[in-house]
Structure 1
């Protein structure tokens, strides 16, 4: 009897992870498969996207067509123009603010922390943002778009980093101060190197949000600076990709490659950043 129970328990323990893997593959694999095979079809086959294999694979031809005719180069550098300063700004300001908020346990700091992370749940007012940028003369500029992204995602960095800083022993900072280090040097030499895992995680998340954003870019810089998703929206609406789903999905593949490469490179730091809180 005990042998039967043991066998059932082993089957149950094995079935749970297998079921989880199958569900994950279905949820993630089907969309990826749809994108890949649609991008590999011709216009007629891709007119109604489905999961069927193409009769003739032309993925390379579609990627070349998108790259040469879709103004992707200028849109790529436009995305970098607004993403890189935005990510760097929120990481620097957010990590510095998180250090202060984590080390000063007062009611005022608790209120400031709650106010700082409220941006995660409170949606930005698009109309107000656009009107304010027009008053400041920043509407339609890269600086205005960078300011919007920094204001939107600073809360995310503070939320991630503050909890991580609280797990760092304060004795490390006290030892550095006893050696004569200034607060700026303590942060730069002691705290910042320890924040690399969590900052890598926050970087990927924020890059993903900014790289794929079309809503705020349309209102703030629409028609003045091209980003990849905004360019896709514009050329598709203008008729180049109208009903050409094979080209749209090919564009999506090329647009996703930089983030995919970044994720593969930073995967080690991302995983350690997610699990470090539990380990510590």
Structure 2
């Protein structure tokens, strides 16, 4: 009986993955290789008039201004992710090591941003008052405020698994709080920081909603360019070019995931479930 279950469970998992991930992925890739007429009605079928990978991807790359959009996305994602992880790590260290009812309330408020959506209209009006609307700095600060809760949630649980003796030994050697954090705590957070980096970069990289209201029309980002050129009619009914653009937009995140994948599982199990 156990042998049968041990064989059925992996097969069931593989089938589930194939249905949930494999079918949509196949639809995107195969449609991106079809001609315009063949892709009018996206389907899982193979192209009937040949593969058009080179033509579709080259046209999507040019008309979608991929290079400018990529640089715009990177200029937002990198500083936003760095600030979220840095401030989140600092706040998590305090929340994990201190006790008290008021700190428990602070932690609850800090992670409430995971389930409570920000008020977009109020956010835009505030940025206008601060003269940050339509600027790179304003967009970065918006993402820092939105995703700081996610970082605190993951990192606080992970820090609680680190023995107190490590910090006590640093204090005995004369290290202050700042030195203890940057030389002892921060290097130990690499697994959970890798996990948080993947999640935060994924959210920011694919965001259209907040980017549209804050910097829409003033900067090029990959999601905004896809939205703008599609709504402008350049890609009207050209599902092959839309999916070709989506594939190119997803490649940097796939590379980031491949680089950090070794630390992702350890970060999730070591922090989020504690």
Q: Tell me if both proteins adopt one fold, taking TM over 0.5 as the criterion.
A: yes
Quote the residue 1:34 is aligned against: 27
Deviation of 1:236 (Å): 0.9
Structure 1: distance between partners of 2:23 and 2:268: 26
> Root-mean-square deviation (CA), in Å?
1.4
**Contact 2:153-2:272 at 8 Å conserved across structures:** no
Structure 1: distance between partners of 2:98 and 2:221: 40
Displacement over 6 Å in runs of 4+: none
Quote the residue 2:213 is aligned against: 219
Residue 146 (1) aligns with residue 136 (2): no
Residue 116 (1) aligns with residue 110 (2): yes
Unaligned runs of 5+ in 1: 1-7
Q: What TM-score, normalized to structure 2? A: 0.97
Quote the residue 1:14 is aligned against: 7
Unaligned runs of 5+ in 2: none
**Contact 2:154-2:272 at 8 Å conserved across structures:** no
Residue among 159, 173, 180 paired with 2:174:
180
Structure 2: distance between partners of 1:11 and 1:155: 43
Aligned pairs (5 A) from 1:1-280: 8-55=1-48, 56-277=50-271
Q: What TM-score, normalized to structure 1? A: 0.95
Cα deviations across residues 209-234 of structure 1 (Å, max 9, x unaligned)? 00000011111110101110001100
Deviates more, 1:133-142 or 1:61-70: 61-70
Deviation of 1:277 (Å): 4.6
Structure 1: distance between partners of 2:91 and 2:165: 20
Deviation of 1:51 (Å): 0.4
How many residue pairs were aligned? 273
**Contact 2:92-2:159 at 8 Å conserved across structures:** yes
Deviation of 1:68 (Å): 1.8
Of structures 1 and 2, the larger Rg is shown by: 1
1:105 is paired with a residue whose SS is: coil
Structure 2: distance between partners of 1:154 and 1:278: 15
**Contact 2:89-2:155 at 8 Å conserved across structures:** yes
Structure 2: distance between partners of 1:34 and 1:104: 50
